[in-house]
Structure 1
Amino acid sequence: MHEVRGVVARSAHAPVTLETVLVPDPGPGEALVAVRACGVCHTDLHYREGGINDEFPFLLGHEAAGTVEAVGPDVTGLAPGDYVILNWRAVCGRCRACLRGRPQYCFATHNALQKMTLADGTPLSPALGIGAFADKTLVAAGQCTKVDPAAEPAVAGLLGCGVMAGLGAALNTGAVSRGDSVAVIGCGGVGNAAIAGARLAGAATIIGVDVDARKLDWARQLGATHTVLSGATDVVEAIRELTGGFGADVVIDAVGRPETYTQAFYARDLAGTVVLVGVPTPDMRVDLPLLDVFGRGGALKSSWYGDCLPSRDFPTLIDLYLQGRLDLGAFVSERIAPDGVEEAFARMSRGEVLRSVVEF
């Protein structure tokens, strides 16, 4: 048993606390990872607010990189000392999606079976099955993806969730290719990662859309060729004007609201693609004329985790970062200690940062 520090949400809407967490040695199929850095993601805030489920207390944190300390007795392909990024979709290899060669849609992803606990024995629910706002965490071995140790942990860990979601929305789900026109609605961490992905793919026109001028500055730094301040103009008309009157080949909704999805739908070219990567709430509905859906062709897609396959995508993207072709470091707005997570949530909510990163 390992006694570590961890950032815990004990109840909905209450400030998080830094507490003693007990982490067991890894059992079959599990790995113990010493966390070196972990990004502060909106999903962690959703957990704290009770927006995911009510299985409090939660051990927060999931965008992490670290070093494997120990593995369970039956684990192969992973060993102590391996430098890894943690992912929240450890594929099973046996379900109908995996057997069809589509493991990114695995229907039976898994986590560690043993529970981490508070000092009094209260079981913790790890955020996205990871719980990485802690000095050490216990995960399924399949949640560990080995990457080049030359990549700084504060940067590498961001591929664990939000940045991968945005990059994958462009590269995997949207299949952006050379010469395409791309519009991204919502230029926070995920949206700007989609912009970076579109740039990496060779898109000719990349349009960032947001209500916040500061986020549009970030969008330009990460590859946007044009920006639209959405509160001041008609978004659909602005995107059409910037794409020869046709609309964009790919429009990525990184907000996930009915208004932004409707904008995305009408801002694409007639045979264009809409990608929804922003996460809506259960009460949201979209009302579109069915004739318009029929008449525009193209594709309407949802992007889960950027349709990524961690074993394929994480090492490749880290290599591109190390080659200077993908500026992952631009997403790190600040580095904080574990006791700074609550303040980081506030800065994130105010739109002041792309990513705060907890360093251990």
Structure 2
Amino acid sequence: MVVIYLLIIASAWQRAVADSDVCSSSVIISNQIDANKLTGCETFDGSITISSSASGVITINNVEEIKGAFSAEGASELTKIIIPDLDSVQGGVTLSNLNSLTTITMGALSQVSSGIIIAGNPNLKTLGFQELEEVEGQLLLTGLFDSVSLPSLDQVKGQTTITGSSSMSCSTLDSLKFNGVFKNGYSCVSGSSGLGPGAKGGIAAGVIIAVLLVSLVLWFMLRRRRQRQRARGTQSTIPPSSTPSTVVAHDEKAPISRGSISPHEEPSPLSAPQTLLPRKPVGSAIFLDSRSIYEAPNGSAPDQKCHELDAGPILSSHQRPINAG
């Protein structure tokens, strides 16, 4: 009998030691089996981290206080986090880049001594901490939230930043600001695009590449335009071929050459007037018209005659020679 009692006592002591070891050191939860090991820990002395390899639903029961931090980052297959009995976290709460996460259940959480960061969870639409009263550090809630509910919040000592979708209303949170809940700055913005850092970086890189391509095309077009303008300027500086016109006598036919005036074209008004040759008198009787008197050219003639004209200008009749020499 005594031996049986001793065995029972030893077994209970071993379990107590084992539970004490589990509850006193930090743990990493990769699946629900790891989470079930914490069931006997009302107060957990270390930090609890959900591994990036975790998937599906992780439920941690009976844990009321975490003296370290609680975090889950980069677990793309994790869909739900349920810690129904958790009342306080002495470290911080960080839940980020959980692409499949749709639900966070911490209905009893009232105090976080560091800060709360929940960001980069595109499928998390509803966020609520119904019993949360105090946050010693910052409160950062960004995502595509349709609603954020903090009905019991009494004070946030750090910076508060809340960003949600276009359907999220900031009116209730604004009323908390007017009541002096947010001690060190407050911002609430609805209408977030929900783009992560990678998507934003890709968009920025695409814009830069597009600008470079447009600049290159414009430079090439301007370069070709300048080359064409230079080519036209070179052609305009070549003087036209000029062939001197052939000067011919009045009765001769002028040969048609390039740059000369066509026989059917009228001469330019700026050309020099041609000298009219005097008409040769016909017959022995010489009559001079007072209106048509021309000076004889200075040519060497074998026989010249001089005539003396009667005095007086007679405009309407011919003048007769009175003395020939």
Q: Give the TM-score taking structure 2 as reference length.
A: 0.21
Larger relative contact order (C-alpha < 8 A, sep ≥ 6)? Answer: 1
Structure of greater Rg: 2
User: Which structure dedicates a bigger proportion of its chain to helix?
Assistant: 1
